Amino acid sequence: GQNIDQPTEMTATEGAIVQINCTYQTSGFNGLFWYQQHAGEAPTFLSYNVLDGLEEKGRFSSFLSRSKGYSYLLLKELQMKDSASYLCAVRSKNQFYFGTGTSLTVIP
Amino acid sequence: GAGVSQSPRYKVAKRGQDVALRCDPISGHVSLFWYQQALGQGPEFLTYFQNEAQLDKSGLPSDRFFAERPEGSVSTLKIQRTQQEDSAVYLCASSTTRNHEQFFGPGTRLTVL
């Protein structure tokens, strides 16, 4: 079966750095995605990794290790508006498998 | 430009009623996905279209669920004889073949009483 694991909740301070981990076990791998989802809204795309290594995009970076089935999303210079759920998703052939999401709360 | 739109945004159905949920993808996007998202959970894959062809429907939970995209643009997800466990947000997403990024619609929140 497919298994995507990420922590349920995290709390971090405004201006700090936070790392959200994701481990996966899927039959087939065609890329790993991170999405941000504010309460009551649709997920929005943050990053995509298909090769090992770090992808940087402004305040957000995402890392992938395919051999370890592991990824993380790094958020720098946290802002209050970053409080949201962060979803890790793995593409396997035509399907996307999502984790349950990590609810991040940024506190002043 | 216009993003993915879905209608209705909210739907309340009585148990046993049939419902139809509509998705208008971004113009030119050949790939279209339907997901079901329960409260506090991540989206769960339901089905995938490439143009008008339904290439994967393995995520549809039962034969009460049916999806179509007859002209390769607008898609409809139909749920027959709704049950309480069908209550969820139904998300539609579209993407191009050259860009893996999926653009999600706002979702339809279905409540079955």
| Average pLDDT, rounded, for chain B | 93
Chain B contact probe: residue of A4, A96, A97 with most B CBs at under 10 A: A96
How far off is chain A from B104, nearest CA to CA, in Å? 6
CA B89 to centroid of chain Cα atoms: 9
User: What residues of A are in contact with residue B57 (Cβ under 8 Å)?
Assistant: none
Share of chain B above pLDDT 70, in %: 97
Q: Is the pLDDT of residue B105 over 70?
A: yes
| Residues A98, B103: C-beta atoms closer than 8 Å | no
Q: Is the pLDDT of residue A23 over 60?
A: yes
How far off is chain B from A108, nearest CA to CA, in Å? 25
Strands A32-37 and B44-50, how do they pair?
A: unpaired
pLDDT, tens digit, 9 for 90 and up, residues B65-79: 999 999 999 999 999
| Residues A31, B100: C-beta atoms closer than 8 Å | yes
Q: Is the pLDDT of residue B2 over 90?
A: no
What confidence category does residue B1 fall into, taking pLDDT thresholds of 50, 70 and 90? low
How far off is chain B from A15, nearest CA to CA, in Å? 27
pLDDT of residue A17: 97
User: What residues of B are in contact with residue A87 (Cβ under 8 Å)?
Assistant: 42-43
What confidence category does residue A21 fall into, taking pLDDT thresholds of 50, 70 and 90? very high
Q: Is the pLDDT of residue B98 over 70?
A: no
Share of chain A above pLDDT 90, in %: 81
Q: Is the pLDDT of residue B12 over 80?
A: yes
Q: Is the pLDDT of residue A44 over 60?
A: yes
What confidence category does residue A28 fall into, taking pLDDT thresholds of 50, 70 and 90? confident
CB-nearest partner of B48 from A31, A48, A94? A94
Nearest chain B residue (CA) to A9: B40
